[in-house]
Amino acid sequence: MPDADRVFLWGHAMDVSELHSRFEAMRAASRAQADTPLLLRRERLLRLQKLLQDNEARLCASVQADFGQRSARVTTLTELLPLHSQLRQALGALRRWAAPRPEATPWHLWPARAWVQAMPLGVIGVIAPWNYPLLLSLGPLVSALAAGNRVIIKPSEYTPQTMALLAQLLPSYFADDEVALLAGDAGASAELAALPLDHLLFTGSAATGRKVALAAANQLVPTTLELGGKSPCLLEQSCDIQDAASKIAHAKLLNAGQTCIAPDYVLLPRSSAAAFVEAYTQAVQRMYPQLQGNPDYTSVIHAAHASRLLGMLAQAEQAGAQVIRLQGGGAEVSQSRIGDGISRQLVPALVLGVGAQMQLMQEEIFGPVLPVLQYDDREEAIAAINHGEIPLALYWFGQDRRQGRDVAQRVRAAGMCMNDCLLQFAHGALPFGGWGKSGWGALHGYHGFMRFSHAKPVLRQGSWSGAAWLYPPYGRRFDGLMRWLARSFMR
The structural domain count of the chain equals 2
Claim to verify: residue 211 and residue 347 sit in the same structural domain:
no
Residues 71 and 126 in one domain: yes
Instruction: Tell me if 271 is assigned to some domain.
Output: yes
Find, among 406, 366, 402, the residue nearest to 385 by Cα: 406
- Checking if the pLDDT of 111 tops 70, the result is yes
pLDDT for res 143: 98
The Cα–Cα gap between 145 and 151 comes to 8
pLDDT tens digits, residue range 352-374?
999 999 999 999 999 999 999 99
Q: What is the pLDDT of residue 365?
A: 96
Structure confidence at residue 163 (pLDDT): 96
Average pLDDT over residues 277-298: 93
**Predicted pLDDT at 332:** 43
17: pLDDT confidence band, cut at 50, 70 and 90? low
Residue 338 CB burial class (10 angstroms; 0-12, 13-18, ≥19): buried
328 pLDDT band (50/70/90 cuts)? low
209: domain CATH number is: 3.40.605.10
Tell me the pLDDT tens digit for each residue of 144-184: 999 999 999 999 999 999 999 999 999 999 999 999 999 88
pLDDT, average across residues 251-279: 97
Instruction: Tell whether the model's pLDDT for residue 324 goes beyond 90.
Output: yes
The average pLDDT across 263-290 equals: 96
Q: Where are the alpha helices (DSSP H) in 33-159?
A: 38-54, 56-67, 72-75, 81-98, 135-146
CATH number, domain of 321, equals 3.40.309.10
Quick one: 334 and 200 in the same domain?
no
Residue 111, domain extent: 7-227+443-454
Question: Do 373 and 249 share a domain, yes or no?
Answer: yes
The per-residue pLDDT for 5 is 38
DSSP 359-421: HHHHS---SSEEEEEEES-HHHHHHHHHHSPPPS-EEEE-S-HHHHHHHHHHS--S-EEESSS
Q: Which active-site residues does the annotation give? A: 226
219 with 259, same domain: the answer is: no
Burial class for 474, CB neighbours closer than 10 Å (0-12, 13-18, 19+): exposed
In-domain check, residue 211: yes
The answer to whether 154 and 189 are in contact (CB under 8 A) is yes
Same domain, 352 and 421: yes
CA distance 49 to 142: 9
Q: Which of 31-35, 121-125, 251-255, 324-328 has the lowest mean pLDDT?
A: 324-328
